[in-house]
A = this chain, B = another copy of it.
Amino acid sequence: MNIGNASVKSGLPAKTIRYYEEIGLVSPDRSDNGYRDFSQDHLHKLSFVQRARSLGFTIEECRALLSLYEDRDRASSDVKTMARAHLDQIGEKIESLLAMQATLSELVKKCHGDNRPDCPILDGLAGKQGKKA
């Protein structure tokens, strides 16, 4: 199967698939005309990576997951450990975004947002504490 086809079926842009080949995540065969030729197995890997990426795993984590996936003798605990570590990172990101959200929406709430130059948001960024009441 050509790259265009593989792209549609895996949900990955052709450019991305070429990039994945370049970094050694997948190694499709080549047809006589030089076109990449993807087997069902390659397609499977691509979809696997697509899902893992969409869950926020890095490329290197995807590589590790792929090799666990290919390893018939893996221990599921290895996978679970990786997944949990990743879950922790997700949790941290969420925490930090929630903190940003809280701070910023507080500032936005205080800002009257009219034509006057007085602006609690800028004051907040400048380190001036706005009056509480």
Contact = CB atoms under 8 A, between A and B. Distances in A.
Given A91-B101, A104-B55, A79 B119 contact: yes
A126 B83 CA distance: 15
Interface of A: 44, 47-48, 51-52, 54-56, 65, 68-69, 71-77, 79-81, 83-84, 86-87, 90-91, 93-94, 97-98, 100-101, 103-105, 107-108, 111-119, 121-122, 124-127
Where chain A touches its partner, the secondary structure class is: helix
Most chain B beta-carbon neighbours within 10 Å: one of A117, A118, A127: A117
A132 B27 CA distance: 34
Given A97-B56, A104-B55, A119 B76 contact: yes
Given A55-B103, A83-B107, A69 B122 contact: yes
Contact of A65 (B65, B74, B86, B125): B125
A75 B114 contact: yes
Given A65-B122, A74-B117, A125-B52, A90 B79 contact: no
Given A101-B87, A104-B90, A127-B51, A115 B77 contact: yes
Given A100-B55, A108-B84, A125 B48 contact: yes
